Structure 1
Amino acid sequence: MESTISSIVTKLNLEMERQLLQLLPKPVRLHLLYQASTHGFNLSTLKDRFDKVGQFIIIVYLKRGEARGAYLGRDLNQNKHQKLFLFNLTSQQATSIPNKSKAEADVDPCKYGKAFKLRKIDFGVCVDFSSDEVYNTGWAEESITNRDGSLTEVEMFRVHDVGDILLYPWREMVWKESTREELRQSVVSHKVLSDSLNSARVLLLGPTGAGKSSFINSMRSVMYRQVIHLPIIGAAPEGFTKKLKSYPVRVERGGTPTSLTLCDMPSVGDSDSEGLSYSDTLAVLNGHVSDGYKFGFESPISPTDPCYRAEPKMRDRIHCVAFCLSASEVTDCSATQQKTYRKLHAAISALNIPQVILLTHVDQVCHAVKEDVCHVYTSRIVQERMQKAAELLGMSLSCVFPLKNYSSEHAVNCNTDILLLTAVQHMQDAVDDALEDLGDTSAVGCSSSRPPPSPE
């Protein structure tokens, strides 16, 4: 909630505000326009601040701890109310009392039939409550004033729709060409925080169509500075990838590898019979599965298989897991899917492997983001989908990274690259943090430490 005067502190606490906002049909924010204890218990001042345009909320706070009020939503083309209801409000509950009359009322912020009426008295105001044919409030007939202390405050708020785009970004990002180049150079120059590793292996896990293989192509596009469409992606209903395949992220086409290798494998299903099995996933995480192994969904890999690595080294293991989830589908995950992801998350955590969530297809859920991904951290719906993804796996929101893969484009885009590179840089840092926690500190203080891109 915002105030028109920063020094004013509203009496509407966070719990009461949360309850009140649930009565409204869509997300809004409140701007405090009038407060009786600040501007004076003077109804003419309240009416002056009520400009008869848009949506407003009037609240009177009673000494006994509850609050009562009215919501006004005015039709901008007529001098009539389009929406109007009264409400009871506490920190535990908000109850709406609708207008039963189909007749439209004149614009008066202080009068709502006989049920709720503010009127001037000597040195203050009085609020009259009752129940009438328009508002069946159930309120006993009574008059409460500020003079005897039974009425402690009167406030009026303007109601603004939040819409698809929030007023301020909830995660800061500098959208400049220099940011992209700093991030790219950071990824290129990074060295794993361990003498025993040249490259960290990041395993991409997720359902069919979430964009795991597309993410690999997109990262190649970022590094090569041109969109790459390699034949590693497809649209088969059961998933295109059948084998475990590692893709080093190279500095440029044909160039030296960076410290990151992306590992692709079959999609996660609702159960072992519908996708990658749990035992095969654990085998990959622990480094027992050699590159190129074709998974057989009817039976997991066994120690007798030629592609089974009995004694994996540190370089064979998975050092970070990136769950790829589609923003357009994350709200439709079943209880079975959630159970599968939670089970995987718990197993990976037990192995002390860092995890992130790559939320793909953010451009498919928000028109503004489709136009330019720089709106991703001011998009209300993207924020909601990121929160849903975090809840799905039981992870922190700080581990969720929204991104857009290259699919139909023929040229790279600065802002799209920034999202992709930010996610990759976090993976590299997460691996270093995990290695340090495990005690592999032989390379602490090497050039892997780097500052974030400087804001300009």
Structure 2
Amino acid sequence: MEREDMTFVSKLNLEMERQLLQLFPKPVKLHLLYQASMHDFSLSTNSFDKGGQFVIIVYLGRGEEARGAYLGRDRLNKYQSFFLFDLTSKQVTSIANNSEVETDEAPWTYGNAFKLRECYSHAKRLWVDFASDEAYNTGWAKESLTNRDGSLKDVEIFRVDDVGDVLLYPWREIVWNESTREELRENFVSHKVMSESLNSARVLLLGPAGAGKSSFLNSIRSVMLKRITHKSVSGAGAPDHLKKLKSSSIRAERGGHVTSLTLCEVIPLGEEEATGLSIPDARAVIKGHVPEGYRFQQGTPFSSQTIGYRAEPGIKDKIHCVLFFLDARKVTTYSDYLQKKIRILQAELHDLDVPQIVLLTHVDQVCHAVQEDVKYVYSSRTVKDKVQKAAEFVGIPVSFVLPVKNYASELSTNCNSDILLLSAVHIILQAVDDTLDDQCV
């Protein structure tokens, strides 16, 4: 919520606001324009354009109860759309909806169901009237409340603005509900790799520093444990274990069985020459020559002379899929050297018949709608453009680029973020199975 006057402190808490915004068919944001208690309960419409979208919330004098209305009207003050709602700290319910009402009455009048008015014969007094109007079927008991007797605690008026950047139709389809999350999680837990000699697919995480590789690993663990995990992640001065080849199994739950996915971390790809993971080292990891825990040495490529070198790696030692991580905020500013290195690796992966997928991270930081709710990721014009740019940067089809949002500042998991992450896992495992199936033919 944004406030045009920073002295205003809205009584609308974050949970109430979140649920209220869900009543709108597309992403919107609220700007607090007016608060009665800050204006001596004097209602003036001069501060509000006659045209536009507004939400008015009336806070009642009994506990946390509140009621309100949404109004969209044109410049002639004619109603174009509106709905009434009942608001509490626990739930928000749309209880009336009418999109064909026109009126020349006071701007905060909704038939007999809801009226807000200023009593001119009594200074600094607001009245609000409720009734069970048949046209709106509110079910509200008939009553008249005022700030003078304390039954009307406060009134707030918000301007409603479209978040923007949301396409009418999504460019990829996902059903965003709890059933989808549980189905994806169950499919992941029960998945078996398409190879009798392989229990788990080894997936290598590659990308520049800060692109979200370690955060992705932690996020997948969080999804499965149904709570945020707190493992160390890379950044300035990477932790010691991220300078090594480290393989991490994903368990179905704490103490549960190991799933068919193993995520392998190495040092980041450098954006400048002679920095980060070298192409020979990456090649050796992918082919399975590098042992677990090997510490990468800058300027000293891994070779057949290195202690621990596997001369004849088995299928369990090799990499079965590579994930290239790119930051959506930086995808158009990455260095030419990084692009060259990724494209060399991309060509070698193609020759080795190893599937590759790009995970585009931080998509919530490039689109306000996605920041408000991840479910808009495939309706976002900006994210779609970033996905296209990522595909061009790496040199692969757009269908191989998956936007994801890692858990970063959250203290708990949420359904839609879980769905996006689990969808990526599902596609990764499918790519591994398709490749292994072809190799068995």
Q: TM (normalized to structure 1)?
A: 0.60
Q: Which amino acid aligns with 2:401?
A: V
Supply the AA of the counterpart residue of 1:249: I
Is the counterpart of residue 328 in structure 1 residue 310 in structure 2?
A: no
The correspondence of residues 172-191 of structure 1 with structure 2, limited to 5 A, is: 172-191=173-192
Alignment of structure 1 residues 336-355 onto 2, 5 Å: 336-355=337-356
Note the alpha carbon deviations across 1:242-293, whole angstroms, 9 max, x for none: 1110011110112111111000111011355111000000000000011111
Alignment of 1:276-355 (within 5 A): 276-355=277-356
Q: Does the 8 Å contact 1:204/1:264 carry over to 2? A: yes
CA deviation after TM superposition for structure 1 residue 163, in Å: 4.4
SS of equivalent to 1:322? strand
Q: Match for 2:248: what amino acid?
A: Y
1:234 aligns with 2:245: no
- Report matched runs for 1:236-275 at 5 Å: 236=236, 241-271=242-272, 273-275=274-276
Match of 1:376 in 2: 377
Q: Distance in 2 between matches of 1:234 and 1:268?
A: 13
DSSP 3-state at the match of 2:171: coil
Structure 1: how far apart are the matches of 2:273 and 2:224?
36
- CA 1:223/1:238 → structure 2, altered by over 3 Å: closer, same or farther? closer
- TM-fit CA distance, 1:164: 1.1
- Offset, 1:381: 0.7
Cα RMSD between the aligned structures? Answer: 2.1
Q: Secondary structure at the match of 1:258?
A: strand
State the shift of 1:302 in Å.
2.2
Q: Distance in 2 between matches of 1:290 and 1:271?
A: 27
**What is the percentage of aligned positions where both structures have the same residue?**
56
| 1:216 matches 2:217 | yes
Distance 1:244 1:374 in 2: 34
In the TM superposition, what is the alpha-carbon distance from 1:304 to its structure 2 partner? 2.7
Displacement of 1:176 after TM fit?
0.3
- Is contact 2:181–2:419 with CA below 8 Å preserved after alignment? yes
Task: Output one character per residue of 1:12-33: Cα deviation in whole Å (capped at 9) or x when no partner.
Answer: xxxxxxxxxxxxxxxxxxxxxx
Matched letter for residue 333 of structure 1: Y
Which position in structure 2 is the counterpart of 1:451? none
Provide, for residues 121-178 of structure 1, a one-character-per-residue CA deviation record: whole Å limited to 9, x for no partner. Answer: xxxxxxxxxxxxxxxxxxxxxxxxxxxxxxxxxxxxxxxx994111111111100000
Partner Cα separation in structure 2 for residue 307 and residue 249 of structure 1: 25
CA contact under 8 A between 1:377 and 1:383: conserved in structure 2? yes
How far apart are 1:236 and its partner, in Å?
1.2
CA contact (8 A) 1:272 1:297 kept: no
Q: 2:98 — aligned with what? A: none
Does residue 200 in structure 1 map to residue 201 in structure 2? yes
AA aligned to 2:207 is G
Give, in whole Å, the separation in 1 of the partners of 2:287 and 2:408. Answer: 32
Flag the 1:371–1:162 CA change in 2: closer, same or farther, 3 A: closer
Q: 2: distance between equivalents of 1:255 and 1:238?
A: 30
**Equivalent position amino acid for 2:267 in 1:** P
Over residues 191-224 of structure 1, what are the superposed CA-to-partner deviations in whole Å (9 max), with x where a residue is unaligned? 0111110000000000000000010000000011
Residue identity opposite 1:375 in structure 2: Y
How far 1:334 sits from its partner (Å)?
Answer: 2.5
Deviations 1:347-377 (CA, angstroms, capped at 9, x unpaired): 1111000011111101111111111100101
2: CA distance between counterparts of 1:332 and 1:188?
A: 38
Residue deviations 1:35-94 (CA, integer Å, cap 9, x gap): xxxxxxxxxxxxxxxxxx9xxxxxxxxxxxxxxxxxxxxxx99xxxxxxxxxxxxxxxxx
Give ranges in structure 1 of 5+ residues lacking alignment. 1-52, 54-75, 78-160, 442-456
* Partners of 1:393 and 1:351 in 2: CA distance: 17
SS of 1:315's equivalent in the other structure is: coil
Matches within 5 A, 1:441-452: none
Aligned twin of 1:428: 429
The 1:414–1:162 alpha-carbon spacing in structure 2 relative to 1, beyond 3 Å, is closer
Q: Structure 2: how far apart are the matches of 1:302 and 1:219?
A: 33
1:308 positional shift: 1.6
Confirm or deny that 1:361 pairs with 2:362: yes
Distance in 2 between residues matched to 1:347 and 1:430, nearest whole Å: 17
Q: Is the 8 A contact 2:271 2:334 kept in 1?
A: no
TM score, norm. by length of structure 2: 0.62
Partners of 1:371 and 1:275 in 2: CA distance: 35
Q: Per the alignment, in what secondary structure is the counterpart of residue 419 of structure 1?
A: helix
Q: Secondary structure at the match of 1:431?
A: helix
Give the conservation status (yes or no) of the 8 Å contact 1:271–1:340. no
